[in-house]
Amino acid sequence: MGLPVFPGTLVMLAHERPLEIKTTEAKARQATRIKELGAALAADGLVTLDEQARALGLSRSTAWAVLKANHKASGLAAGTINRMLSSPELPPPARVTILTYIEEKLAGLYGHNKTQLRRFMAGFIRRDRGHSLELCVMAAALSKPETVAEAISEFDAEREVAKQSVVH
């Protein structure tokens, strides 16, 4: 059951961590989805980093980091996704890829726990952008609300709380 390192601590041996394979598969799935974003941009004729960065609404260095899909564990940050979805030059296939990424991440397919997923979703709710409501309804649908109206009501309540916390 592990090796003692310091009094009161243990180091787990690799064979004692059965979830590691699942985590590895989840991260590979996440990296593949992020790479599909680059493929969607290239399919739309955006092949240079400058063109892709402009379409994503990101700086060259951020676009490079995103398209490289070499994220340690967390994947794309909500703020980065917000910037990409807010870009008027984002091609529809790339938008679909991003929304699919969000849907899969919120469904837990990339190995994130509930706290990480709540924090990720909060990154969309805190921003008052046109796509935030769409994403909130999508997230709520994944958690099985009774109706879309209920999801919208929850979104409005959370947005109001967020606004009040900023004011105070």
% pLDDT > 70, the chain = 61
**Residue at which a domain ends, from 69, 98, 127:** 98
In a domain? residue 108:
no
User: Alpha carbon of 33 to those of 103, 108, 146: distances in Å?
Assistant: 11, 14, 30
User: Alpha carbon of 141 to those of 75, 110, 121, 128, 157: distances in Å?
Assistant: 22, 18, 13, 20, 17
Same domain flag for 22 and 56? yes
Burial of 84 (0-12, 13-18, 19+ CB in 10 A): buried
Task: Report how far Cα 125 is from the mean position of its chain's Cα atoms.
Answer: 13
Same domain flag for 156 and 94? no
Residue with structure tokens 């599909």?
A: 36
Same domain flag for 10 and 63? yes
Same domain flag for 79 and 131? no
In a domain? residue 103:
no
Same domain flag for 86 and 131? no
Chain segment 86-138, per-residue pLDDT in tens = 898 999 889 889 988 888 888 888 888 888 888 888 777 654 455 555 555 55
Among 22, 86, 67, CA closest to 76: 67
Single-letter amino acid code for the residue at 108: G
Same domain flag for 13 and 44? yes
Count how many domains the chain has: 2
Does the pTM surpass 0.75? The reply is: no
Q: What is the DSSP letter of 48?
A: S
Same domain flag for 89 and 163? no
In a domain? residue 107:
no
Dist. CA 136–CA 146, nearest whole Å: 14
**Residue at which a domain ends, from 67, 98, 129:** 98
Same domain flag for 94 and 123? no
Same domain flag for 154 and 84? no
**Residue at which a domain ends, from 73, 98, 123:** 98
Same domain flag for 90 and 119? no
Residue with structure tokens 């180091």?
A: 11
Same domain flag for 91 and 119? no
pLDDT of 46 strictly over 80:
yes
Same domain flag for 92 and 159? no
Taking residue 156's Cβ as centre, other Cβ atoms within 10 Å add up to: 12
Chain segment 51-85, per-residue pLDDT in tens = 999 999 999 999 999 998 776 667 898 889 989 98
Q: Give SS3 for 64.
A: helix
Determine the structural domain holding residue 19 and report its residue range.
1-98
Dist. CA 28–CA 36, nearest whole Å: 12
